Amino acid sequence: MPAPLNQTLPTAGSSAPRWALPQRLLEIGISLGCLALALRAINLADLWNALAHANYLWLLPTVLITVALLVLKAWRWQLLFYPEHRLAFSSLFTALCAGYLGSNVLPARSGELVRLVLLVSEQPVSAARTLSTIVVERLLDTLTLLVVLVILLPFVELPTEMTRAAQGLGILALVAAGALVLLSFWKARVLAWAHALFLRVRFLDRPGVYAALGHLIDGFAALRSRLGLWLVAISLLGWVGVIGMAWSSAQALRLDAPVTAMAFAVVVTTLGMLVPSSPGYIGVFHYLVTVALAPFGIPKDLAFSFALIWHSANYLTLSASGVIALWVHGTSLGQVLRRWRGRGDKVMG
């Protein structure tokens, strides 16, 4: 049976925290500001002309690659639970699709919470263990993306300072990966250090926090096994798929740009997700695409047209996948949120 929700999930009370409204306003303001920057100096007639004459059949590969990436990521997520848990692929796929839907339509990028709630409420796995897999998954994506960035540097003409910063990030990624794997050998020692440190911070000195830290260390330990090689390979393959998705979207506009330009746009927009924005990453995504393609001589109006097409295809596909997956599962996003709001007060137990 699934772990009791009242021991594993956070509370969404009837009233939002005081900082919720300022945060929403900040996200909307950043999105609108970036959208205004992206549209600055763009001829709207040229923009409309580019969109009107696009060959939208090229978006079919974009849609198919997006769905294939969902399957690939669900498989990787399943592997991250090994060997303790062998969860049903269908449950993981549904939760993942629901998570992307949540990120597209809910504020504060709540998709990760949505997929955690859905999986924990229906599978025999704790929230702490599930959260650890999501953290390791994000670290894998970030580290492999930085590797892609370092590979791209010889093919992109950037200012010297930006090139050095990118090289530094690549080196930092490798060092961080090595450090995390190394720490996984010292689980008992790391937990002892955590106990000594957290004893002075009351809200951190809880069994659930130590359990979550232990699960996280176990997740890093997977990277030093043969399974870790599979996880890294799947992560790299996933980024190749995202680049392919961007390239097929560019073909809809007959955009004359090398694959390296598409890869650089993927890197810049993904790293830019650290910036707060409205649901669906609207505005920030479009502005960063124009910035990423500028070194390749792509006119701003054409770059913005490409950003609109690429983002729309991805957004609609992920949202539709989430709705369909939840419908097949017999639930909805609203029901998942009510399941969260009506139960428990702790994530970690």
The one-letter code for the residue type at 211 is A
Give me the residue label for tokens 């009510």: 338
User: For the ranges 68-77, 142-151, 155-164, which has the lowest average pLDDT?
Assistant: 155-164
Q: How many CB atoms lie within 10 A of CB 155?
A: 13
Per-residue 3-state assignment (H helix, E strand, C coil) for 215-248:
HHHHHHHHHHCHHHHHHHHHHHHHHHHHHHHHHH
pLDDT tens across 293-313, in order? 998 999 999 999 999 999 999
pLDDT over 50 at 13, yes or no = no
Contact 231, 223 (CB under 8 A): yes
- Determine the distance from the C-alpha atom of residue 287 to the mean position of all C-alpha atoms in its chain, rounded to a whole number: 19
Q: Which burial class, exposed, middle or buried, applies to 216 when counting CB atoms under 10 A from its CB (0-12, 13-18, 19+)?
A: buried
292: nearest Cα among 253, 257, 318, 316: 257
The DSSP element (H or E) to which 61 belongs, if any, is helix 59-80
* pLDDT of amino acid 17: 59
Residues of the chain by 3-state class (helix, strand, coil), percent to 5:
80, 0, 20
Beta strands in 236-332 (DSSP E): none
Report the share of the chain in percent with pLDDT over 90.
44
pLDDT over 90 at 326, yes or no = yes
Report the length, in residues, of the chain. Answer: 349
* pLDDT of amino acid 19: 66
pLDDT tens across 171-214, in order? 877 787 777 777 778 878 888 888 888 887 777 778 777 777 88
Confidence of residue 18 (pLDDT cuts 50, 70, 90): low
The number of helices, as runs of H, and strands, as runs of E, in the chain is: 14, 0
Sign, CA dihedral 153-33-111-57, equals: negative
156: nearest Cα among 242, 251, 266: 266
Query: 108: alpha, beta or left, given left = phi > 0 and alpha = psi -120 to 50?
Result: left
pLDDT tens across 91-114, in order? 999 999 999 999 999 887 788 999
* pLDDT of amino acid 345: 40
* pLDDT of amino acid 187: 79
